[in-house]
Amino acid sequence: MGRQRWWWLLTVAVAAVVVGAGAQETCSDIVPAAPRRGAWMSLASFAGGGGGGDGRTLSTAAFQAAVASIERRRAPGGALLYVPPGVWLTGPFNLTSHMTLFLARGAVIRATQDTSSWPLIEPLPSYGRGRELPGGRYMSLIHGNGLQDVVITGENGTIDGQGSAWWDMWKKGTLPFTRPHLVELMNSSDVVISNVVFRDSPFWNIHPVYCSNVVIRNVTVLAPHDSPNTDGIDPDSSTNVCIEDCYISTGDDLIAIKSGWDEYGVAYGRPSSHITIRRITGSSPFAGFAVGSETSGGVEHVLAEHLNFFSSGFGIHIKTNTGRGGFIRNVTVSDVTLDSVRYGLRIAGDVGGHPDDRYDRNAVPVVDSLTIKNVQGQNIREAGSIKGIATSAFSRICLSNVKLNGGAPVRPWKCEAVSGAALDVQPSPCTELTSTSGMSFCTNSL
């Protein structure tokens, strides 16, 4: 492929992320336009012997050599690694700064199912241990730490985690360590992920953690509904995140905002903040949009709008627990369409386990200033529930123009330890949300 051709393709793939699609509102300008990369290289040139891309030959060394070459070359503006059409079987590999990983149409980066090829890395400090099991965790398929200016994009090529072997180990209880993600970038900034299909992740799909200025746009994330913990996109203790125009259908929450786990998240103390989510469509046996349940570093200043969820367990699920500490505040969810969803909304203070028995049982989270508005649902079974914590009631919860209908009468709202207001809500809201004391907050937030 000539340089003019690859530069044109990169421009097409990234331009929509930077300037937005047509007149649609976008947050993607939080990441500056990627500079013109000063070098281009094809993965095929590092494969050797012509065996790469056949779906059988392990290409881990080729990816590692290509990234090392980018680091050594230090081309002006960085370098683009072109993944040609074909199936590139690989173990985990790291990215580097000022790099674009570009998947051509028909290119598949496929994870090996040989677990011995997956290195172990340290647990995240805000979790204190692997999310599933004590000790370390398997490195993500595509990984990076302390990077700047990283782009993963292309012509809708596929990153395939071949997660079934990992799911089977989870179901049988034979996992030795916490499963790997497809992509995890840590302590990184100016990240763009766009125009790529993610399929069958062993665990969470896309996990930016301790990151800033992240755009995830125009991606498709797929996994069977019975695949365990295959969250779509989980921004974690990250700031200035934009997630737009994605289709996600997985076995767990489609998007879940997190910020650390119990005493480890409290000690690390890095919130997730200034996160915008727009135009997401998908299906899950769990939640379409979620916050938590790991929120010990805090979650604030979140806008999620123009969401379309179907055949799901929850439309919106905001969840925490005693022992979490932290806070969830200033969250707005707007313009949501639900179809065949069991619970329209759940805000709960009793969800999720603990990493160990050293968590502070007096560390209760603060949940305050949540606005849920312009929600339309059909084929809904239960309106939902808002259940706070007795010693830390959820406050300033505003529901406005929330209409949830079903083939049979929708089961009513359930509320406990909560205060706020409800305007134009069907079925009729809880009495805890109809007091006049909360109306001014709700009216002002609309």
Q: Which residues are catalytic?
A: 252
HEC string of 293-323 equals: CCCCCCEEEEEEEEEEEEEEEEEEEEECECC
Cα 332 from Cα 335, distance rounded (Å): 10
Strands (E), 218-286: 220-222, 239-249, 255-257, 272-283
In three-state secondary structure terms, 44 is helix
Distance (Å) of CA 310 to CA 159, 282, 284, 303, 411: 25, 6, 8, 20, 18
∠ Cα 419 272 355 (to 5°): 85
Q: Is the peptide bond before 228 cis (omega within 30 degrees of 0)?
A: no
**Within 10 Å of residue 94's Cβ, how many Cβ atoms?**
16
Task: Take residue 127 and report the two structure tokens written for it.
Answer: 């979790």
Spatial distance between the Cα atoms of 289 and 205, rounded to a whole number of angstroms: 15
